[in-house]
Amino acid sequence: MSYVKPLFHHPSLKKNKVGYVKADYEGVISTLCAGCGHDSISGAIVQACYEISLEPHRLAKLSGIGCSSKTPTYFLSNSHGFNSVHGRMPSITTGANMANKELIYLGVSGDGDTASIGMGQFVHAIRRNLNMVYIVMNNGCYGLTKGQDSATADFGSISKAGSDNPYQGIDLAGLALELNATFVGRSFSGDKSQLVPMIKAAMAHPGFAFLDVISPCVTFNNNKGSTKSYSHVRAHIEETSIFDFVPHQEALTVEYDKGTSKELELFDGSKIQLSKLAPEWDPTDRFSAVNRLHEAKANGQILTGLYYINTESEDLHGKLGTVDQPLNKLQQEALCPGSEKLEEINASFR
Amino acid sequence: MKEQELLVNDLVVRFSNVNGTGSASANEMFAKSIFRMGIPVTPKNIFPSNIQGLPTWYEIRISEKGYLGRRAGIDLLVGVNPQVLRRDIDSVRPGGYFVYDSSKKLYDEFIRDDINYIGIPMISLAMGEYESARLQQLFKNIIYVGAVATLLDVEIDVVKEVIAEQFAKKPKLIEPNYKALQLGIDAVKENYSYPLNVRVERRDKVGDSILIDGNTACGLGAIYAGATVMAWYPITPSTSVAKAFETYCKKLRVDPETGKKQYAFIQAEDELAAIGMVIGATWNGARSFTATSGPGVSLMNEFIGLSYFAEIPVVLINVERGGPSTGMPTRTQQADLISSAYASHGDTKHPLLFPSTPAECFEHTVKAFDLADRLQTLVMLISDLDLGMNNHMSPPLKWDDDKKYDLGKVLSAQDLEEMEKPFGRYLDVDGDAIPYRTIPGTHPTKGSFFTRGTSHDEYAKYSELGEVYLRNVDRLAQKWETAKTLVPQPEFYQKENRSDIGMLFFGTTTYAAMEAMDLLEAEGIVLDSIRVKAFPFHAQVEDFIEKHKQIIVVEQNRDAQFRSLLINEMDLDPVRLLSVLNYDGTPITALTIKSQIEKHMAVAM
């Protein structure tokens, strides 16, 4: 069931540059468990879209199947949404993006939806550098079917039922790096101050922007011994940097220590401001990102923040060489070659 | 052996080759030459699922009467594949001709006393002229073309004209080809009397027809229908649909100023992704399609259900091959009828179109886009390997410049502004069970909805309430009734009914069925015929069945799937429907139809 939130907004609520209040970016009331990490991520998406003054219809939200894939109803009610089939969100998003290159495509998936049934489509969306934001709400378990381990559950992580996971966990961010994804980061549902700017940066990135967001399952995977519980994540978190996103034509507000700061300009003129916490890591150098991730893992840390960004990213439309105008705006006059041309074609078959 | 009577423009010529040796293009040039002489031809490429080294046959039926179906009985066979020599020789009809490479001796065991042998030292001639083994192989093919053309009295100037066109982009190759042709011609002229009594003669029987394969016509149809996104995964026999779409897009859909493409062509990672991309693209307002075959449709089943339930237009071109499983991937069948009609889990059914010629492949592909958009559902074009991959003599492709795409019920920003009542994505406003849809990005605050494969109400909100579910699926059933009024009408082959027996067929069976009508009529058996062009069945199909005591359903599968569809959809008494079936992987022949009908008749019909 969907519960409807009141449409009435207090007149004093602050409007953003395009005239919307934050509530205009919300969705129906969540039916997820109280305390679910996914709801915090939904909140971060709302916050990010409100702050960058996105017109709601400029974004399409898509998902697969699972707890995480239900969340698109809980944010951005004024955007078109698509809750597709299990593990297949990337293909739907690919087609949608091909039809209209002008929208922002926000794909939401889970660890089951991406790392198991949807692995094939996930890696191929990376391979094509599809221009989209791909968020995995990663809780290491199958919530909707009552808590089975997922493929991202860490080796040795203990389930609620008390069993050790005997399998190696799949690190989706590590995999995305390996596959040359052009924007890769990891965050934590409980760290909004990091997650919101990362979502904004991911939306500004012209290519495949992958965010693996650890999002504890309060019902099935928040027990002692689980490596995806709130307490475990909080105790082991390690950030790559202090991260800020600055939209196009806005001034930087935070001054970082000159020795460690890095500023990256994105395609649309917006900027990412980083205060690096590890000097040997450079977010534009994929090898250093891979090394940094492995190093953190070896130390038992959960590395969050931006790992890697390719500022020269060429997305799928660029690779295919499509026209500037969205394909779904082309009219019959432009698309249909007409009878005279067909006569020429007929003649070539005589 | 009895002397061969004069037989003009009614013969079957077969070339037996090893695949990967360049024989296909030589054989095609031969077929085209006869077509250029104004004589109807039906070439069929019978090939293995393999790239090099296995037997492949190319069969050309030449029929002045314009019969375009396959005919059994080979009048002349060119056999250059030692692997299948025995089989090839056995396949020649008594009194027919076997043309072989006499560079090596043909042993006694291969000599039949009821056929004629014509030895041409093909490879020896080629070796005398060309140095590399590859060239020897390629020109050996042209040598036999020259020999057979001379034997059958094909006009050599026409063959030369076709060769010149074939190599228009590599003019250096024209002369060597002419040379090889001449070697073959001379080999016949010096050693045999020619032409044979089995021969061709110029006629004016092809009119404005074209010689084209169905897959190319489908690809062109998609371009003319305005498709901008194609997603597909390679699978025989549908791959050439994608190839044709891309090839012609490069010619017809590139902005001359910027060189940028007005289309997106994506080879997906599998069929699941291919149809997912199509669904995403049409959901987002572009015309989009995929092409596949049986195994691909099996993989697409989950998404097909989504498109049905969420009401997203999809055009799927299903070029059938021999099943089940991997089956006979390079042979033809019409065996994916039930699996297409009711694809996916739950209560689902999908409109199907059954073209029978390349011209109809073009026309029906265009129609499929209009129907899919109008009905907001998946529409499948059901072709098969024979139609898709073989060249057919077909009426020319036709486009009416006054035709406007039917993009269905799509609301614009202005429509949304002017609406008095709230927008309901699945609300039946007009009473035809077809709701209105909106495309993402249309309006900042109006018209957004949540597309889902879960049960939903009129406003696309999730609901598991029984009454809500019933309202929705019953509307979908009503939409099916609307579909019946929109699909193409059947074709009849008589002005008015003359018999209480009706023959019903569809797709590539048409050629053979039309010929069978003549054969039966010659024996005094008159029956009425109907060609079905679409599923759901048009009211006229029901009417035809109603008006005949017995219906003979002709189809190319084992289980009489089309018959099942008829019985199921129209609640017919199965006793009234008899079957004519052909499912060995080769296209059905008129004689097969005739003999099976005669058997039915013998059992007191």
Partner residue opposite A57 with nearest CB, options B258, B442, B463 = B442
Tens digits of residue pLDDT in A204-238: 999 999 999 999 999 999 999 999 999 999 999 99
Amino acid at B452: R
**Do B474 and B538 lie in a common domain?**
no
Q: Look at residue A326 and tell me whether its pLDDT is greater than 60.
A: yes
CB contact under 8 A, B229 and A95: yes
**Which pLDDT score, from 0 to 100, does residue A285 have?**
95
Task: Return d(Cα A66, Cα B308) in angstroms, integer.
Answer: 21
**Do B460 and B497 lie in a common domain?**
no
Which chain A residues touch B280 with a CB distance below 8 Å?
62, 82, 91-99
Residue with tokens 């951005």: A76
CB contact under 8 A, A98 and B286: yes
What mean pLDDT comes out for the span B193-222?
A: 98
CB contact under 8 A, B210 and A332: no
Which chain B residues touch A72 with a CB distance below 8 Å?
450
Partner residue opposite B448 with nearest CB, options A57, A124, A334 = A57
* DSSP state letters, B120-185: E-HHHHHHHH--SHHHHHHHHHHHHHHHHHHHHT--HHHHHHHHHHHTTT-GGGHHHHHHHHHHHH
**Do B480 and B504 lie in a common domain?**
no
Interface test with B, best of A80, A121, A128, A348 (most B CBs within 10 A): A80
Residues 6+ apart with CB under 8 A from A234: A190
Does residue B86 belong to any structural domain of this protein?
Answer: yes
> B3: pLDDT confidence band, cut at 50, 70 and 90?
confident
Partner residue opposite B303 with nearest CB, options A88, A124, A330 = A88
Tens digits of residue pLDDT in A292-312: 999 999 999 999 999 999 999
Looking at the DSSP bridge assignments, the partners of residue B144 are none
Looking at the DSSP bridge assignments, the partners of residue B185 are none
CB contact under 8 A, A85 and B302: yes
Amino acid at B270: D
Q: Look at residue B51 and tell me whether its pLDDT is greater than 90.
A: no
Which chain B residues touch A334 with a CB distance below 8 Å?
262
Which chain B residues touch A108 with a CB distance below 8 Å?
none
Q: Looking at CA atoms only, how far is residue B84 from chain A in angstroms?
A: 33
Of the residues B486, B520, B540, the one at which a domain ends: B486
Range of the domain at B575: 491-602
Sign of CA dihedral B492, B493, B498, B504: negative
Task: Return d(Cα A32, Cα A55) in angstroms, integer.
Answer: 27
Mean pLDDT, rounded, of chain A: 93
Task: Return d(Cα A322, Cα A130) in angstroms, integer.
Answer: 13
Asked if A172 and A212 touch (Cβ cutoff 8 Å), the reply is yes
Partner residue opposite B399 with nearest CB, options A80, A324, A338 = A338
As a whole number of Å, the CA-based R_g of chain A is: 21
Does residue B404 belong to any structural domain of this protein?
Answer: no
Interface test with B, best of A59, A98, A121, A331 (most B CBs within 10 A): A98
Mean pLDDT, rounded, of chain B: 96
**Which pLDDT score, from 0 to 100, does residue A334 have?**
97
CB contact under 8 A, A346 and B400: no
Taking one residue from A and the other from B, the number of pairs with CB-CB distance under 8 angstroms is 229
Tens digits of residue pLDDT in B400-449: 999 999 999 999 999 999 999 999 999 999 999 999 999 999 999 999 99
Tens digits of residue pLDDT in A246-279: 888 776 555 556 557 788 888 888 888 888 778 8
**Do B175 and B271 lie in a common domain?**
no
Does residue B204 belong to any structural domain of this protein?
Answer: no
Partner residue opposite B228 with nearest CB, options A93, A103, A330 = A330
The domains located in chain A, with CATH, are 22-329 (3.40.50.970)
**Do B577 and B509 lie in a common domain?**
yes
**Do B165 and B25 lie in a common domain?**
yes
Residue with tokens 């009219």: A331
Asked if A195 and A17 touch (Cβ cutoff 8 Å), the reply is no
Q: Looking at CA atoms only, how far is residue B513 from chain A in angstroms?
A: 26
Q: Looking at CA atoms only, how far is residue B392 from chain A in angstroms?
A: 10
Q: Looking at CA atoms only, how far is residue A228 from chain B in angstroms?
A: 29
Of the residues B362, B394, B426, the one at which a domain ends: B394
Interface test with A, best of B223, B228, B378 (most A CBs within 10 A): B228
Which chain A residues touch B281 with a CB distance below 8 Å?
95-96, 98-99, 327-328
Among A64, A52, A215, residue whose Cα is nearest residue A137: A215
Taking the CB of residue B109, how many other CB atoms lie within 10 A of it?
8
Which CATH number goes with the domain that contains B576? 3.40.50.920
Tens digits of residue pLDDT in A33-49: 999 999 999 999 999 99
**Do B473 and B457 lie in a common domain?**
yes
Task: Return d(Cα B498, Cα B529) in angstroms, integer.
Answer: 10
Does residue B127 belong to any structural domain of this protein?
Answer: yes
Tens digits of residue pLDDT in B90-122: 999 999 999 999 999 999 999 999 999 999 999
The pairing of beta strand A132-138 with beta strand A104-110: parallel
> A13: pLDDT confidence band, cut at 50, 70 and 90?
confident
Does residue B81 belong to any structural domain of this protein?
Answer: yes
Q: Look at residue A113 and tell me whether its pLDDT is greater than 50.
A: yes
The pairing of beta strand B352-353 with beta strand B534-535: antiparallel
CB contact under 8 A, B285 and A103: no
CB contact under 8 A, B397 and A338: no
The first and second tokens of residue B297, run together, are 């449709």
**Which pLDDT score, from 0 to 100, does residue A1 have?**
43
Which CATH number goes with the domain that contains B299? 3.40.50.970
Residue with tokens 């005589």: A350
Residue with tokens 């390079």: B330
Tens digits of residue pLDDT in A127-179: 999 999 999 999 999 999 999 999 999 999 999 989 999 999 999 999 999 99
Helix, coil or strand: residue B266: strand
Q: Looking at CA atoms only, how far is residue A179 from chain B in angstroms?
A: 15
Residue of A nearest to B455 (CA): A1
Which CATH number goes with the domain that contains B26? 3.40.920.10
Among B285, B292, B247, residue whose Cα is nearest residue B265: B247
The first and second tokens of residue A168, run together, are 């190696």
**Which pLDDT score, from 0 to 100, does residue A273 have?**
85
Supply the DSSP symbol for A29: B
Task: Return d(Cα B370, Cα B364) in angstroms, integer.
Answer: 10
Partner residue opposite A339 with nearest CB, options B264, B279, B401 = B401
Sign of CA dihedral B21, B22, B26, B31: positive
Residue of B nearest to A93 (CA): B280
Partner residue opposite B262 with nearest CB, options A94, A120, A327 = A327
CB contact under 8 A, B272 and A121: yes
What mean pLDDT comes out for the span A278-291?
A: 92
**Do B234 and B365 lie in a common domain?**
yes
CB contact under 8 A, A327 and B264: yes
> A8: pLDDT confidence band, cut at 50, 70 and 90?
low
**Do B472 and B496 lie in a common domain?**
no
Q: Which residues of B331-356 are buried (b: 16+ CB within 10 A; e: fewer)?
A: bbbbbbbebbbbbbeeebbbbbbbbb
Q: Is omega for the bond preceding B324 within 30 degrees of 0, making it cis?
A: yes
CB contact under 8 A, A328 and B285: yes
CB contact under 8 A, A94 and B224: no
Interface test with B, best of A55, A93, A130, A345 (most B CBs within 10 A): A345
What mean pLDDT comes out for the span B196-203?
A: 97
The first and second tokens of residue B476, run together, are 């979908």
Q: Look at residue B371 and tell me whether its pLDDT is greater than 60.
A: yes
Q: Looking at CA atoms only, how far is residue A341 from chain B in angstroms?
A: 9
Does residue B53 belong to any structural domain of this protein?
Answer: yes
Partner residue opposite B445 with nearest CB, options A78, A322, A341 = A78
**Do B429 and B497 lie in a common domain?**
no
Which chain A residues touch B451 with a CB distance below 8 Å?
80-84
Which chain A residues touch B272 with a CB distance below 8 Å?
88, 91, 120-121
> B579: pLDDT confidence band, cut at 50, 70 and 90?
very high
Sign of CA dihedral A279, A283, A287, A291: positive
Does residue B403 belong to any structural domain of this protein?
Answer: no
Task: Return d(Cα A219, Cα A221) in angstroms, integer.
Answer: 6
Of the residues B465, B486, B507, the one at which a domain ends: B486
Residue with tokens 């939401």: A108
CB contact under 8 A, B400 and A339: yes
**Do B354 and B476 lie in a common domain?**
no
Which chain A residues touch B282 with a CB distance below 8 Å?
95, 99
Does residue B207 belong to any structural domain of this protein?
Answer: no
ipTM over 0.90: yes
Residue with tokens 């009828």: B337
Among B159, B150, B76, B73, residue whose Cα is nearest residue B117: B76
Interface test with A, best of B277, B314, B446 (most A CBs within 10 A): B277
Residue of B nearest to A341 (CA): B252
CB contact under 8 A, B210 and A95: no
Which chain A residues touch B211 with a CB distance below 8 Å?
349-350
* Length of chain A (residues): 350
Question: Which run of H or of E encompasses A67?
Answer: helix A67-70
The first and second tokens of residue A337, run together, are 């070659």
Which chain B residues touch A317 with a CB distance below 8 Å?
264
Among B43, B45, B47, B44, residue whose Cα is nearest residue B19: B47
Which chain B residues touch A16 with a CB distance below 8 Å?
none
Taking the CB of residue A19, how many other CB atoms lie within 10 A of it?
10
**Do B236 and B299 lie in a common domain?**
yes
CB contact under 8 A, A95 and B276: yes
The first and second tokens of residue A210, run together, are 């992958």
CB contact under 8 A, B444 and A322: no
What are the two backbone dihedrals, phi and then psi, of residue A222, each rounded to the nearest 5 degrees? Answer: -120, 20
Interface test with A, best of B209, B302, B450 (most A CBs within 10 A): B450
Task: Count the domains in chain B.
Answer: 4
CB contact under 8 A, B397 and A350: no
Task: Return d(Cα B317, Cα A62) in angstroms, integer.
Answer: 26
Looking at the DSSP bridge assignments, the partners of residue A82 are A62, B451
**Which pLDDT score, from 0 to 100, does residue B19 have?**
87
Partner residue opposite A322 with nearest CB, options B220, B261, B280 = B261
Task: Return d(Cα A101, Cα A286) in angstroms, integer.
Answer: 27
The CA-atom distances, in angstroms, between B117 and each of A14, B113, B192, B217, B240 are 95, 10, 11, 40, 38
